[in-house]
A and B are shown apart, each in its own frame.
Chain A
């Protein structure tokens, strides 16, 4: 990683979080500080400091009105990172480094506005050494995100992701599921339904070497990183078209599964991490 991570990711939770701690997001509860929300009778909010004189004088029934303000509360951001063997892939970019860069960006962006950042890494089981409960402690979050780049991913299989999703208890959180989603469809469905309570953002780590950059002609011996054997492929334009169409289908299937469980539209991170593109995606979706 080069230099300090960019803290440019802008996000907005889909739900109105509750909470009494001051934070950066519009909360569900009304309080004494923040943006004006509405006026309520004095009896329902007996706060003499916020009496709205103008509204009180305007009331023909001479009731006393109190101004109510929106509280701004923090949320917790969790990155659920897949560390199955396929994350070792190096195409145009190093996939695990890309994931680490994204996590560092999230950690920096979240702690900057007082949100907590937590990380759960998992392959077949939760990787305790790369797991951190949500913290507003900036350097702790960044250190762990940095350690992720050097993580080894020996195991094939991502069943620990579901376990990690189940460990996210309590209030709704914003969860970034960072993976290449080279999983069985059933596992993806289980993960998304386990995360149905939360505001889930699937981040699909893609690489142009996987599809668009494939050469038109030639023999290539492919070896599966997850140990599914090796296979010789004779690349030619027709096969390349089929290959790219298949990858496209896979992404669409992922989007459909995410939508079915109420998760957001997947963000596809191709080749390099672009915080602005992610922000656009998060704000428009």
Chain B
């Protein structure tokens, strides 16, 4: 396979982003995650902080409207710009890793797509979030729940299918079972098998 696109969806705190970064390193591929934010910031003149606040966020239903495919919501337009960006990259023949952005559905027409969804046990996710964000247990659980709710609404609105539904992905993996490193090893083997097909 000359082109490979690895799409990594993830629950918050599951280590999905770290897994995506490591896979990008092992396969020597560019990764589109934070890069997508700076790309859009440059294009819109908004700051990266402003884009980050609107990134992978659902629109407010009360302050936005959609007319014949046009939307006044900045969240919607940022999402559309990101979808266009990854689609153009895919169409250009580039191989890359992309984190989130409904990429498993937006790029599903590409045979070279390997779509992964990383989940984790709540206890493990809380522990991880407590360490990274310096939070207590209750705060971490609340934070995870809010982030996942936001991602779910964003995904379901733009795709119309359920976020995390295993039928959307090639593999859904619980990173708490093998730990982050061994999960990466496992996924590397799977991707290599797909590439040699």
Check if A and B associate: no
Chain B contact residues, CB within 8 Å of chain A: none
Chain A contact residues, CB within 8 Å of chain B: none
